[in-house]
Amino acid sequence: MKVRKKPVIVDAVPFYKDLWEMKPDKYPMVSYWALTELVTPYPYIGTIEGPMKVSDGDYIIKGVNGEFYPCKPDIFEKTYEAIVSPSLTDDQQVVLDYLKKMCPPELGVSAMVTTYCLVDDNINDNWQEYSEEIPEHIEALQKLSVAEENQVLAAFAEWGLSNL
């Protein structure tokens, strides 16, 4: 049977021993460890499989359950790719911030419903029921092109998925 690894987004940071020794708070998951007093201690990460050595250039990955583990650069390059989010304009950021504010994860509000309400407020001028002046988020939305609206939706989806 062939299977495909589910796509999950994880945090990763390259490890540099010199930086770690100067600023250990940059890598709070790394400690020194040695099997015996006769062996030079080396940087390691405590994992569910036991201590794993981490070397210069390795990536430290935070897994889906909050656990940390090292990954060699060649394996990392074959397995992971950077997520590049487009930078948003000021108007896009205003709309995105509004969507996030109206869709708090702890309340379980649907992102689809939140997006629908924003569009409905804009198209039907529903905002006039609660404001005499055009709200900042509606004004910003009206300035966006279709491509810019899609970028906001992509950023909103990314934010929503990271809060599951």
CB neighbours of residue 23 within 10 Å: 10
So where are the chain's domains?
A: 11-79, 90-162
Instruction: State the pLDDT at residue 34.
Output: 57
Structure tokens at 39: 């062996």
Instruction: State the pLDDT at residue 74.
Output: 94
Side-chain-side CA neighbours of residue 127 (13 Å): 17
Instruction: State the pLDDT at residue 114.
Output: 87
Mean pLDDT across the chain: 85
- DSSP 8-state symbol, 110: -
User: Angle CA(119)–CA(106)–CA(90) in degrees, nearest 5?
Assistant: 45
Instruction: State the pLDDT at residue 38.
Output: 59
Point out the residues of the chain with pLDDT beneath 50.
Answer: none
